[in-house]
Structure 1
Amino acid sequence: MSFSVHNRKTSKKPYPLEPLLLPQVPRSNYLHFQEEKQRLQLKKFLLNRMFLVARIEVNVERKEIVEYYEEVFHTISKQHLGEAVTGLLLIYPTSLLLILESSSGTLYRIISDYIGHKKNEIEYFIQEMKIVVISHNIPTRFFMQWHVSVIKVPVMYLDDVTQSQSLKEVITEFLTQTHKLSLHLCKTAKVGTKGPGNNLHQSVPDLLLSEQIIKYLCKSEELMDPATFINMYDRPIDVTLDSEVVWPAPSCF
């Protein structure tokens, strides 16, 4: 008895290959990173700090300067809700030092108001305002509220040190002294109080900035005035680069 064996050919159909899945790497940009950072810190806007110096008229009442800035802050706060302005205003006999902390939009409105007064009034009581430096996206505020201090007694110096210093050295000293003073007020000033008062020249004379430095910065042509800053701020960024210009210009045949 013989058995016949039939060889079955098993058909091996190729299984469909699964599509290759490339690793999905989350991509973001710097703007998203900053927005997420602000969200985690429960911030509604990026915080900026601006340092300003200006010359004031001798016969101007110091109360008039204080009322002017308080009125500006109150007007802007109606349109920029939740963007409070904190900082320090030091009023010297013939000049002032201004430190502002708020959003970029609020700071823009403050210096724009100054430009409007300069255009409409021939002799405005604030003159030769200069922007010393602007710090963007600072982590925290130095001041929890708005402080004003009138320096009634001028600080006397043996000689004018700005005559032998460069602009870089003067700005370095300016930032160093204002930083030390801001740290001192941040530690000592309590929320809800009127601030340091008008006796800083007696309590912390070594932390006060010399008025000679403020006058030097007001006359500096290298520092930017508010009008120049606003013009640069409003200038469009989609400018034509030299590399995009083809020369000679294409002509039609």
Structure 2
Amino acid sequence: MASRSHRVDNVPFTAWNSAFEDRVSLFTKLEKSQRTGGKKFLLHRLVVVASLPQQLKDRRDIGAHYEELNQRMQRKYQGDAISGLLLLYPTCMLHIMESSNEVLACVLRDLRDMQESPHGDLIKVSRVLVMSHDLPSRLFQQWSYELLNVEARVGAASSGNTPGGDDEEDTETLVRTVLSVVLKLGSHLLTLTNKGSKTPLGSLLDEMPEMIVPQDLLVKLLSRDLLSPQQYLQAYHTPLNIIMDSGHVFGSSQLTTV
């Protein structure tokens, strides 16, 4: 009788313990799904625009700078593959990069340092258009850069029907226009890659100018209220403080003034 009672008394505890062990955190499930899918890290995409200094003699110097930076990051963050596209216009640049969060943070710090350099040899002003997190797949298969000529600055992507027609559009609409063209270009390049096409990017852009974001549109965005790399990094490193009664979230700098 005693032994039977002992077994019965342990049943609720055993069932509860089993249920407890079966519970896993969201982080554990996400980590497991990443391993199952063969992904070593979460994929993010950064899109930035920057103005070029007038004294810049050769835009290929910027391409060489990023090639060297990418090599350094690949050595430091082994396994965090880098892909994307750098479009160098006569007066500005549009840069799309895909990699881990750590790599993209390094890119932003490098942009910040170039912008704050007293000489400003490569970059004058830069702005973050968007940072997309936890992407299912890459838009670009590798990283490359392309020089665009003066004629390439006016494309069919402009949302305004007349010169200056997008002056009155809000910043969010202009950013969406840029991202729409970037996604179309990336999707088209991915399709060509899957078909085994060897068409150079420069030739493709000459044939399809509607896939080029107009330079004038990028220049307008540089004057809009968008985060600089420094401001983005400050927000990235600022701890969140949650007031449990209201559920409101504040940055630490805001709390000190309350």
Which has the larger share of helix? 2
Q: Does 1:227 align with 2:230?
A: yes
State the shift of 1:94 in Å: 0.5
Q: Does 1:208 align with 2:212?
A: yes
State the shift of 1:124 in Å: 3.7
Q: Take 1:85 and 1:195, find their aligned partners in 2: how far apart are those partners? A: 22
Q: Does 1:241 align with 2:237?
A: no
Q: Helix, strand or coil: the match of 1:68?
A: helix
* Deviation sequence 1:69-103 (CA, Å, 0-9, x none): 00111111111011121001111111111000000
Letter in 1 for 2:243: L
Contact 1:89–1:147 under 8 Å retained in 2: yes
Residue of 3, 19, 24 corresponding to 2:19: 24
Task: Look up the match of 1:8.
Answer: none
Amino-acid identity (%): 25
* Deviation sequence 1:184-214 (CA, Å, 0-9, x none): 1112247999974434442111111111211
Q: Helix, strand or coil: the match of 1:101?
A: strand
Q: Helix, strand or coil: the match of 2:60?
A: helix
**RMSD in angstroms over aligned alpha carbons?**
2.7
Q: Structure 1 residues 34 and 15 mapped into 2: Cα distance closer, same or farther (>3 Å)? A: closer
Q: Take 1:186 and 1:76, find their aligned partners in 2: how far apart are those partners? A: 24
* Deviation sequence 1:128-165 (CA, Å, 0-9, x none): 21111111110111111112111113334750222131
What are the residue-to-residue correspondences of 1:43-122 with 2, within 5 Å? 43-60=39-56, 61-122=58-119
Q: Helix, strand or coil: the match of 2:124?
A: strand
Contact 2:52–2:93 under 8 Å retained in 1: yes
Q: Take 1:65 and 1:186, find their aligned partners in 2: how far apart are those partners? A: 25
Q: Structure 1 residues 172 and 77 mapped into 2: Cα distance closer, same or farther (>3 Å)? A: same
Residue of 128, 132, 139 corresponding to 1:131: 128
Q: Take 1:146 and 1:125, find their aligned partners in 2: how far apart are those partners? A: 19
Q: Take 2:199 and 2:78, find their aligned partners in 1: how far apart are those partners? A: 24
Contact 1:48–1:137 under 8 Å retained in 2: yes
Gaps of 5+ in 2: 156-161, 247-258
Contact 2:115–2:125 under 8 Å retained in 1: no
Contact 1:147–1:195 under 8 Å retained in 2: no
Residue of 181, 185, 191 corresponding to 1:187: 191
Q: Take 1:13 and 1:146, find their aligned partners in 2: how far apart are those partners? A: 73
Gaps of 5+ in 1: 1-11, 245-253
Larger Rg: 1
Task: Report the TM-score, using the length of structure 1 for normalisation.
Answer: 0.82
Q: Helix, strand or coil: the match of 1:57?
A: coil
Q: Does 1:147 align with 2:140?
A: no
Q: Take 2:49 and 2:19, find their aligned partners in 1: how far apart are those partners? A: 51
Task: Look up the match of 2:256.
Answer: none
Task: Look up the match of 2:32.
Answer: 36
Task: Look up the match of 1:167.
Answer: 171
Task: Look up the match of 1:251.
Answer: none
Q: Helix, strand or coil: the match of 1:202?
A: helix
Q: Take 1:217 and 1:100, find their aligned partners in 2: how far apart are those partners? A: 19
Q: Take 1:58 and 1:14, find their aligned partners in 2: how far apart are those partners? A: 90
